[in-house]
Structure 1
Amino acid sequence: MRLYLSLICIFSASIAAVNSLLCVQCSNTTGSYCSEPASPCPPSADSCISSYREDSIGGSDPIPAILRYCGKSSFCGELGSLRYGAIQMQISISCCNTDSCTPPLSPLPPINVTQNGLICPTCSDDSSDPCDSDKTVACLGGEDICINLRSVIKQGDQIFSTYIRGCASDALCNYGNGTLQNIQFTTENDCVRPRKRRSALLSSLGL
């Protein structure tokens, strides 16, 4: 994952190196483990965070991934799922707040494949602009909101953006920002309650 951390003056950087929390900052897109020597977090971070996720495409076996970074404790303990197109993503967030600590990985429950009667517009695009599509996706299990998620990753002068629309659980509306070494990532979420799927009979009656 590519992310950006704003440069600050040498004096401020020296203070951060002395007083900031030290966290392991690393990522692995094909497994559940990663490790690097702990490094200083920016002053705004109060926790070392592990974000563990499993992605499944079209019902395939889930692919694990982990991201360890500096962030805020307000994200801790979140567990949720996101569904867009044929992709099903489950995410758990765990935290600790001492130097070089390792947050315990929160186990993910099996994917609930039961449709809950709610539907959302779905699309994805490698852009910061909202994507638009006539396609919809059926929400599963506890996915009780439609989410419009904009993700921005900055590294130096480079900026990478992604926009996703689909079904999600409430917890993902709280997912926010973090830093990974010299990279910063931010997310902006717009969450709304999805409409219920109308029955074929009601649709034929125009109701």
Structure 2
Amino acid sequence: FLKVLFLSFFSCLLLGESLICEICSGAEATCANETQNCLPVLNKCATLQSESIVMIHITNKLCIHSKDCNEDLTVVNMGKGGVMSTKLSCCAGILCNQKVLPLPPINRTLNGKECKGCFGLHKTSCQQEEVVHCTGEQMYCVELYGTASIRNPGTIEAAGN
């Protein structure tokens, strides 16, 4: 009887345990010092890093579901507007996302693909298009519209992977 009671108690402890992740958002390569008990459905810790246009580096740390852990490097080439790279890194374990690894280097070897490009900072439409010469694994032309939370609205037509 004691063995069954012990195993039941131990199983309840294991099932009730939640993941603890570092949670933060910052305009630097790292951010830290805040932790959170993740909801049971969020079973991974993650670090989302973005580096863009004028070397603005943004780091976000969060709890995430494992199905959302697409860890490929995403690169968007905006021609004269610069290059934006984003990487999501996921891990399992208490506070496993404390350490932030540097973003991998961008392959700058021309691959022969060309896209139309335009970058309209502080504008809602593109005024002057250019040809973007794709590099590395940039195989698709994309058109993005949106508002960044740290700057004014802008429009981008670019090459991406």
* Range into which the TM-score falls when normalised by the shorter chain: 0.5 to 0.7
TM-score normalized with structure 2 length: 0.62
Structure ranking higher on relative contact order (CA contacts 8 Å, 6+ apart): 1
Matched, 1:46 2:38: no
Where does the alignment leave 5 or more consecutive residues of structure 2 unmatched? 1-15
Structure 2 CA distance for partners of 1:35 and 1:164, relative to 1, 3 Å: same
1:70-149 map, 5 Å: 70-73=63-66, 74-85=68-79, 86-102=81-97, 105-124=100-119, 131=125, 135-136=129-130, 137-149=132-144
Q: Partner letter of residue 20 of structure 2?
A: L
Structure 1 unmatched runs, 5+: 1-17, 155-159, 170-207
Identical pairs, percent: 26
Aligned to 2:25: 27
RMSD: 3.6
Residue 55 (structure 1) aligns with: 52
> Following superposition, which runs of at least 4 residues in structure 1 exceed 6 angstroms of deviation?
none
CA deviations over 1:63-110 (Å, ceiling 9, x no partner)? 543221232323342223111142112222211133433265454343
Residue aligning to 2:4 = none
2-side partners of 1:141 and 1:151: how far apart?
Answer: 25
Following the alignment from structure 2 to structure 1, what is the Cα–Cα distance between the partners of residues 83 and 108? 10
Deviation sequence 1:107-143 (CA, Å, 0-9, x none):
434333332222223345689xx85566142211111
| Structure with bigger gyration radius | 2
Deviation at residue 44 of structure 1 after TM alignment: 5.1
